[in-house]
Chain A
Amino acid sequence: MLRMSRSGADETAGTEPLDVVRLRHDFPALEQRVHGHPLVYLDNAATTLKPRSVIDAVAAAYASDSGNAHRSVHALSGRATQQLETARARVASLLNAGEPDEVVLTGGTTDALNLVASSWARTNLRPGDEVLITELEHHANLVPWQWTCEQTGARLRVVPVSDDGTVHADDAEARMGPRTRLVALAHVSNVLGCALPVAEITRRAHEHGALVAVDGAQAVAHRPVDVQALGCDFYAFSGHKLHGPTGTGALWARRELLEAMPPTQGGGGMVASVSFERTTFAPPPQRFEAGTPHVVGAHGLACAIEYVQALGWSALRAHERDLMVHAEAALASVDGLQVLGSPGTRNSVVSFVMDSIHPHDIGTLVDRHGVAIRTGHHCAQPLMKRLGIGACARASFALYNTRQDVDALAEALRHARERLS
């Protein structure tokens, strides 16, 4: 029986707990053994495993529906077009977007954030303008802004991570001013697992006349996202972190923003008319989708979203909270282990260091027990610096993980420590 351990009990009212034993059968990758042990997959913040429904949908699409979208008039093209646009609508429902045409299908979060940087930011930033990010951002929500600032003469400012391992709206607002044009921040940290106060920071950013771009990579598989309730202006995510295919994802933006943004790639599918004298562009979202889109990937993404939505967010949230409470206790029982961030703030992601043992040694040794975790700087080098470490180990959960998985991690960590100390 899964129980809520912290606030948010209303979310689970009247819902059945996840039937994890049953749904694990939906994920063929979980059936394998690694180094003689059953796979314990705890690297979901890096990428998630795919359910059979997604794998079958992708295979079936390549087997029979493999036409190009928005091109030819034959049956296969029609099916591809329908799959692509159904996927767009499914993404819109995932994010509670106002309309599907506010969704640009991209190669992932990185692709989506770079689109905002190279289109909106390149067009709108002036010398002396400011882009505000936070100290815990993934490089994908840092490097594009750094480049754009260099190109436009704008200035990159950084909201510090507080000592409790979170980002506070007051600290963000303290760095907002008349020249702040954009605030770019993670919805959930890929290292500390804390959720940022996106709605509150957005409200304050808007008071300063700034727009807000959200990196939702670590949020979409773990919580319901409502871009209208958040009030943000751009929201980016990756399909592969949501049990969908790699190379898929989306950028959501308010329609009036997309309409005012120039395309960043020219080619087929993004034009209204072309002559040697002049090209006019298609309306969004097609304007931002030059070339043949990843139709089959989008179809797989739609199936992945459908899979997660069918489970129900309340049950999923309750399950992952239970895992985190269990993990915090299990990791605390491992000698020499120090968990990063603060208890009660972690969402499906928990990072740690162990004595002076290098995280890569930990990663390889727990892998010997079939336990897959991430080790390294997690594409967040400024945050590593803030935490006073070069790298760390990270366990991250998904809907198919169990308390037994967490126990296997703790046991593997004890073995690793024994061998390396």
Chain B
Amino acid sequence: MSDAPDPYQALILEHGKRPRNAELPAAHSHAGEADNPLCGDRIQLQLQLDGERITAIGYRADGCLLSIAAASLMSEAATGASLPELEQLDKRFRALVEGHGHDSLGDLVAFAPLADNPMRRGCATLPFDALRAALTPTAER
């Protein structure tokens, strides 16, 4: 039986304990929320799009360390990104935690061990669900 790697890597522990951007921005153009029905965790996310770039992103998270660390690392990666870049980030991150490669993810690659822990994938993708909700026009939801 393969021994799955530990998902609690130093970088994740550090971001989970001291999350960056863990407050809602002063102004926002997009907002979204996501819930994890398995545990009741919830993330509220807001971002400010100025022109083509995200100039501010923040969130309120009531969740486990993995979800908070994911929100923190995602917020760092999202700052300064364009919407198409964010969509790519979202796709790549979901592919990573499902075990389908880890291209151009920067620090978020720390979540690779979740490929072997399907029960916790939803924790790490929760902030990305909130991001998708924020970027999806209301009529399409």
- Stretch from B18-26, B60-68, B98-106 that touches the partner: B60-68
Q: In the complex, what residues of A have CB within 8 A of residue B65's CB?
A: 357-358, 361, 420
Closest B residue to A389 by beta carbon equals B40
- Mostly, the A contact residues are mixed
Q: Is the CB of B3 within 8 A of A36?
A: yes
Which residues from 344 to 390 on chain A have a C-beta closer than 8 Å to any C-beta of chain B?
A: 357-361, 364-365, 368, 375-377, 381, 384, 390
In contact, B8 and A391 (Cβ under 8 angstroms)? no
Question: Is A333 an interface residue when CB atoms closer than 8 A count as contact?
Answer: no
B139 / chain A contacts, CB cutoff of 8 Å: none
Nearest chain B CB to A66 CB, angstrom units: 30
A391 to chain B, nearest CB (A): 5
In the bound complex, do residue A390 and residue B120 qualify as a contact, i.e. CB atoms below 8 Å apart?
no
Q: Interface on chain B toward A: helix, strand, loop, or mixed SS?
A: loop
Interface residues in A25-50 (C-beta closer than 8 Å to B):
32-33, 35-36
Chain B residues lying within 8 Å of A360, measured Cβ to Cβ, are: 39, 64, 66, 120, 123
Give Cα A360–Cα B63 distance, bound, in whole angstroms.
9
Residue of B with least CB distance to A34: B1
Interface residues on B, range: 20 to 34
Residue A74 lies at the interface, judged by CB distance under 8 Å to chain B: no
Tell yes or no: A419 within 8 A of B by CB.
yes
Judging by beta carbons under 8 Å apart, are B40 and A361 in contact? no
Partner of B7, one of A358, A364, A384, A391: A364
Complex CA–CA separation, A376 to B39 (angstroms): 5
- CB-CB < 8 A to B123: which residues of A? 360
A360 to B123, CA, bound (A): 9
Decide: B6 and A359 in contact? CB cutoff 8 A: no
A360 to B38, CA, bound (A): 10
Contacts of A381 in B (CB 8 A): 40
**In the complex, what residues of A have CB within 8 A of residue B13's CB?**
419-420
| Given A35-B3, A35-B4, A419-B8, A361-B38 contact (CB < 8 Å) | no
Report which of B1, B62, B66 forms a contact with A32, defined as CB distance below 8 A: B1
Q: With contacts A358-B64, A361-B66 known, is A368 near B6, CB below 8 A?
A: yes
Partner of B62, one of A35, A365, A368, A390: A390
| B contact residues vs A (CB 8 Å cutoff) | 1, 3-4, 6-8, 13, 16-17, 38-41, 62-66, 117, 120, 123
The 6 A-B residue pairs with the shortest CB-CB distance, nearest first, are A358-B64, A360-B64, A390-B40, A361-B65, A361-B64, A376-B39
